[in-house]
Amino acid sequence: MLRCPALLGAILALGLPLAAHAEAAAGAMPAALPSGTTNAPVEALDLERYAGRWHEVARLPMFFQRKCIGDTTATYTSRADGSIEVRNACLTDEGVIESTGAARRAGDGGALEVRFAPGWLGWLPMVWADYWVVDLDPDYQWAVVGGPGQGALWILARETTLDPALFERIRQRAEARGYRLAELVVDPAQRDRMAAE
């Protein structure tokens, strides 16, 4: 169902924010998943709790994020009409770049769609890309965003880094869902934390 992998990448590339609070790792380690676990959106997603700022901890390479070197964030703000404003930002060699778009429900649970095309083009199905929250901390401290094609993936967190053991478990869970993470791009702050522990 991923209509446009490049568009999804671009949408998420600027920081669709989602992963875990480091201090919560000790008591909230998610269970390991068996290989071949179904890749599907989470069954329930409270958009009010999901709103706010997320930091990109890691992602699969995306063309639209090719200039991002760190400090990638995604900020979600609820709108009165039930949609969500999406503001992605990242640091590049030239400074900070931002992109603003919209998200909407596309089914049950964590199935959303996002667009970064102008609002007046919102009626066109091709400007919307699948945005699936496929893994989520019960306390909304970390999240994993992907899609049906498994070619795009973002690990997001409320804090800038995750406990290394938690990060590794989240990676394992994504791989069990079929995501190929050999080329995973880890944010410099997360790399530094893993090297220090």
Amino acid at 78: S
Distance of CA 197 to the CA centre of its chain: 25
Amino acid at 181: L
Residue corresponding to tokens 């900070």: 96
Q: What's the mean per-residue pLDDT of the chain? A: 84
pLDDT surpasses 90 at 120 = no
Q: Answer yes or no: pTM beyond 0.85.
A: no
Residue scoring higher pLDDT (8 or 97): 97
pLDDT surpasses 90 at 163 = yes
Distance between CA atoms of residues 170 and 20, nearest Å: 9
Nearest to 145 by CA among 26, 64, 45, 27: 45
Give the pLDDT band of residue 125 (cuts 50, 70, 90): low
pLDDT surpasses 80 at 185 = yes
pLDDT (0 to 100) of residue 31: 93
pLDDT (0 to 100) of residue 18: 32
